Amino acid sequence: MNKKRTARPAGEKMLLEVTSLPTAAGHEDAVIVYVENWAARRAGRVALERDRCGNIILARKDFKKARAGGPPLYITAHLDHPAFIVHSSPRCGTVELEFRGGVHDAYFKGARIEIFDPELKSSFGARITGLDAAAKPFKTVKARLSRPGAASRIKAGCIGRWKFPAAAVRGALAYTHGCDDTACVAAALLAFDKISREKKLAHVAVLLTRAEEIGFVGAIGAARGGTVPKNARLICLECSRSFPHDSPIGAGPIVRVGDRMSVFTPELTNTVSALAAEHQKKNPVFKFQRKLMPGGVCEASAFSVYGLRSTCVCLPLGNYHNMKDPDAVLASGKKGRVGQEYISISDFRGLVELLGAIARGMNAGGRSMRGRMEGIWAQHGHLLREKK
C-alpha cells in the first residue's frame, strides 16, 4: 500500500522556495519579484516601497502615522548571496564571469557552476577553467560550457552560481543553494505576516537590502539616504558561520552581540536577549543562544557606523558561503570543495517565533536596561541619599 506524502509546512515550503532563487549583489531581481508577489497578496494591509537604492520596505499602511508616535522597529535582511555575473557573451564555448562575494581561491579550480539565461527560466552547466584572483573590483573566472550551443542564450549580466542539487529538507536540516541571507528573508516574511495583522504593532517594518555581500552597499545607502530614521531600532537578520563547540546548529537562533568588526548597540542587544529569555521561560521548548560570532561582519555594524541603534539575530550556518571545511582547506593549501549551505529547521522556526516576541515586547514598559536601572534607583536610591 502506498503511503501518502505529508504536505510540507508552509514555512519550510517558503524557505526552500526563496533559498532556491538565483541572486547576486546588484542582481537580486528574482528574490525581489518573490517579495513583490508576497506583498501583492496582502495588499489590503501591507504596503511595499523601494528607496533610491532599490532596497525594499514592507510595512502596514498606517506605518508612517505609527512611526510619528515613537521609534520604529525594522527587521532587516539582505537579498543577495555570493554568485557570478557574466562579463560578456560567450566565445567558442567559453564564458568569462566575475564573482561577487567572499569565497577563498581554493574553491574555484575545476568547480561546476550553472549559468542562467536573462529570464532566469533555464540554466546551463559549465566548469571553471581559470581564475584571476587579482582582478578588480572582483575576482574573474573563465568557464567552459557543457553544451557550447547554450552560448546563444547567455548574455552579459546573466547570473551564475555553484551547481548543486535542488534544495531539500533532509532530517533536521535544510540544504539549499544559499541560506545567507535568503533564509532570513523567508523568516522575516513569515514573522511579518503575523506582525502586520496586529494594529498595535504598526510601528514594525521590514527592510530588505541589496548588495550586502560586496560591502553592505544597500545598508549604507539606506543609512545615508534617510530610508531609516535616526530614532529607529534595527534587528538585523543574518546567517553566520557555525562553530560546533561554540555556536552549534540546532541549539536555537543566536542573539549576536557583535561580529569581527564591532560590538552592536548594547542596550538594544540586551533588550533582545531579555525578551528571548522571557519568551523561553513562558515556552520551555524554545531555544536560543547569545554569542559574539566573530566569523564575519554583518549589517548591524554598518548601521551602527551611521549612528543607528542596531543589533543582530542570526541562524548558525553550515558550509558558510558554500565552502566545505574552510579552515582545513586554508591550512593545507589544497583544493576546496563547494557544498550546499545548511541550517536547522528548528533554528529557522525559532527565529520566526523570536521575531514575533521581539516585536510584541520591545515597547513594553521596563524592558530596556535603562528602564530597569531607573526602577532599581526608584526603589533603593533613597538608601544613598544624604540624611538631613
User: Is residue 378 situated within a structural domain?
Assistant: no
Residues 366 and 283 in one domain: yes
Q: Specify whether 112 is located in the same domain as 74.
A: no
98: CATH: 2.40.30.40
Pair 196, 285 in one domain: yes
Task: Decide which of 112, 141, 162 is a domain's last residue.
Answer: 162
| One domain for residues 113 and 255 | no
- Asked if residue 3 is part of any domain, the answer here is no
For cell 504536505, the residue is 7
272: which 3 cell numbers? Answer: 533582545
In a domain, 4, yes or no: no
| One domain for residues 207 and 133 | no
pLDDT of residue 112: 98
Same domain flag for 208 and 338: yes
200 with 309, same domain: the answer is yes
Taking 80 as the threshold, does the pLDDT of residue 364 lie above it? no
Domain count, the chain: 2
Q: Count other C-beta atoms under 10 Å from residue 36's C-beta.
A: 12
Q: Which range of residues forms the domain containing residue 138?
A: 83-162
Residue 30: CATH number of its domain: 3.40.630.10
Domain stop point among 162, 192, 226: 162
In a domain, 356, yes or no: yes
Residues 321 and 358 occupy one common structural domain: yes
pLDDT, tens digit, 9 for 90 and up, residues 55-109: 999 999 999 998 888 899 999 999 999 999 999 889 889 999 999 999 999 999 9
Domain shared by 263 and 325, yes or no = yes
| Per-residue pLDDT tens digits for 283-307 | 999 999 999 998 889 999 999 999 9
